[in-house]
Every structure is written in structure tokens, then in C-alpha cells.
């Protein structure tokens, strides 16, 4: 029996043209981009479909843009395969906000406003305290914890057992790069990002976001949504608000999120949004999981057909379809 989770892309997955073929084929998705543009005060469809990449990559544009494209992929799937049920949701950094919206925690309009502000606050923090991020492959997390401790950087992302991202001041990241290579890293990559996300250098952004979220209504999630900070499901609305502030400066515990799903019996994932990064990470954490990625019309058609066929086979066999598990005590 398949238990599914939906997962959403994070910042860095943006690409000019994202969402275009879905919008061209579906009036409801075109309307979604129009609604988002009205809230944000910009032509979001043109930005996503035509660029330029420099404007699309700006955090205050990029974050609501990826959210809208990810949501478009998810809505297209739900309409194509209405019988699908999801056990829970998760997302990588920015994508966690998409997962919270999909679970009914925030409205569409409020999520857009939050992400536009969050992106602006993070960009301002990058300019105040310049930093860098380094992806390290082939070293265990405990080894990189020692590297981080000795060089004064921080663990930004625990993406997979063999991939960890470090974040901090540029000079310290350079030291960490040398130490990681000396420790036997298979590969290190300096990420093309504006600054040191998920580190103490983002503290000013977290403080501004806390003030911004004070008047944003949060609701109980309709299904479990994994917290990047905790690596387990979110709780009550007030706790969610606090954790989403902490998320700006805390490590993204993606390995723990996938492990928590696995322990709850989730064995199938649908990734919605540009790129296929999360599907790849999930397979490196849980080799037995099956994954589907939806980022454009061809991938949507393929995934929708496969998922709906599985539902039909299950229903035709007389088996009862599993229900969405929302009892927090069972986690």
C-alpha cells in the first residue's frame, strides 16, 4: 500500500520559463499567476515566463515566484487525479511555506506577502553581513559538524547522508572548504547565492520576519507538515509561527524530515515545482521510496497518469483507500 507525501521546491530552483506551458494549457493556472501578480504588485507571469533571470533571482521576486509555480504544479495534479490523498507535506526552506499553504495553514494571498517580505529581509541581511554557502559531498554530517565548529561556520542544510551545506562568513567558508577537502570530501561546491542563509548572519531577517508575521493568521494544518527546524511535524499555529521565524537562521533538517515520513509509513513522494532536486535527495535518504517530479506539462502528464492509474488499480481491487492521518498523537 502506498502512502504519499507532497514536497515542494526551495530557492535556487528558479529558471526562466518555469510554469509557462502549464499556464498556456490551463486557464485556471493562468488565473493563479494573475492573482499572484495582483497581490505582489508586479507582472509575475511575465517574470516567470520571460525573465530576465537577474530579476527572477532576486529573493523578493524568487520566493513568491517559486511558490506560485509549485502551487500551479500541485493544483494541476489535484485536478487531473482528484482521487489522490496525501499523508502529509514538506518543503525545503522556502518550500516549507508552500507546504503550509497546501495544508491550509495560510491563505494564498498571505503566503505571497510573507514570501515577498521574507525575500526582502533576507536580501537586506545579505547586504548587511556578506556571507557564502558551501555544498560538501562525500563527508558524514558528524565530520562536517567538526569542520563547522573549528572554522566558525554553521550547518545550513542536512540534505542527504552524503551532502551537507555549510554557511557563514566568506573567509570562514574558504577555510571550511580547505578543511573539508583535506578530510576526504568527494566534491565541494561554492553555491551561487547572495549570502549565508540558515546561519546567524540572517538574524536581522529573522527579527523583521517575526514582526511581519505577528498579524498574519495561522490555522491548524489539515495534514502533517514537516518542520525544517525540528525534523518532525509542526504542532499548533502559534508554534508554527515561531518555528518559521527560527527557520531563517536554523539548519534545514531534511534528512530527519524524510526519516520521520519513512517511520510513519510514507513510501511515495510527489515533488511539485521547478527542478528535481528533492526527488534525488529523497532517494539518497530512503532508497526504497518511489518519487515523481512535476515541473512542467510533460512531467505533469506522466506523473498524473501514473498516480491515477495506481489509485484506480487499488479501487478496482476492492481495497480501502488509506485516509489522511492527522492525529498528532500518532506521530
User: Which residues are part of the catalytic machinery?
Assistant: 93, 198
SS3 87: coil
Following DSSP, what letter does each residue of 173-229 receive, concatenated?
HHHHHHHHHHTT-SEEEE---SS--SSGGGHHHHHHHHHHHTTS-----SS-BB-TT
Residue 190 phi, psi dihedral angles, 5° rounding: -75, 120
| Residues 326/224, Cβ–Cβ less than 8 Å | yes
Residues 251-280: b if buried by 16+ CB within 10 A, e if exposed: bbbbbbbbebbbebebbbbbbbbbbbbbbe
Rounded Cα distance between 282 and 280, Å, is 5
Q: Strand pairing of 268-272 and 290-294? A: parallel
Rounded Cα distance between 164 and 143, Å, is 10
Amino acid at each position: 500500500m502506498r502512502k504519499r507525501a507532497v514536497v515542494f521546491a526551495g530557492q535556487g530552483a528558479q529558471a526562466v520559463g518555469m510554469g509557462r506551458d502549464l499556464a498556456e494549457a490551463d486557464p485556471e493556472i493562468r488565473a493563479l499567476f494573475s492573482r499572484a501578480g495582483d497581490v505582489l504588485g508586479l507582472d509575475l507571469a511575465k517574470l516567470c515566463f520571460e525573465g530576465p533571470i537577474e530579476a527572477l533571482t532576486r529573493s523578493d521576486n524568487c520566493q513568491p515566484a517559486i511558490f506560485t509555480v509549485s502551487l500551479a504544479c500541485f493544483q494541476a495534479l489535484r485536478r487531473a487525479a482528484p482521487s489522490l490523498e496525501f499523508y502529509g507535506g514538506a518543503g525545503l526552506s522556502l518550500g516549507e511555506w508552500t507546504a503550509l499553504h497546501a495544508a491550509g495553514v495560510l491563505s494564498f494571498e498571505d503566503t505571497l506577502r510573507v514570501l515577498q517580505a521574507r525575500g526582502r529581509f533576507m536580501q537586506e541581511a545579505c547586504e548587511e553581513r556578506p556571507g557564502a554557502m558551501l555544498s560538501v559531498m562525500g563527508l558524514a554530517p558528524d565530520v562536517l559538524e567538526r569542520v563547522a565548529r573549528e572554522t566558525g561556520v554553521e550547518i545550513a542544510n542536512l540534505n542527504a547522508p552524503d551532502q551537507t551545506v555549510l554557511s557563514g562568513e566568506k573567509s570562514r567558508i574558504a577555510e571550511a572548504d580547505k578543511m573539508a577537502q583535506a578530510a576526504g570530501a568527494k566534491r565541494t561546491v561554492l553555491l551561487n547565492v547572495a549570502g549565508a542563509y540558515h546561519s546567524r548572519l540572517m538574524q536581522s531577517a529573522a527579527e523583521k520576519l517575526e514582526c511581519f508575521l505577528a498579524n498574519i493568521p495561522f490555522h491548524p494544518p489539515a495534514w502533517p507538515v514537516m518542520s525544517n527546524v525540528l525534523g518532525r511535524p509542526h504542532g499548533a499555529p502559534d508554534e508554527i509561527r515561531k518555528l518559521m521565524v527560527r527557520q531563517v537562521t536554523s539548519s534545514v533538517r531534511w534528512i530527519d524530515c524524510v526519516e520521520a515520513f519513512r517511520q510513519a509509513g510514507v513510501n511515495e513522494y510527489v515533488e511539485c515545482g521547478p527542478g528535481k532536486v528533492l526527488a534525488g535527495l529523497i532517494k539518497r535518504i530512503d532508497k526504497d521510496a518511489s518519487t515523481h517530479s512535476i515541473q512542467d506539462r510533460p512531467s505533469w502528464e506522466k506523473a498524473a497518469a501514473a498516480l491515477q492509474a495506481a489509485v484506480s488499480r487499488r479501487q478496482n481491487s476492492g481495497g480501502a483507500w488509506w485516509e489522511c492521518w492527522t492525529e498528532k498523537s500518532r506521530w
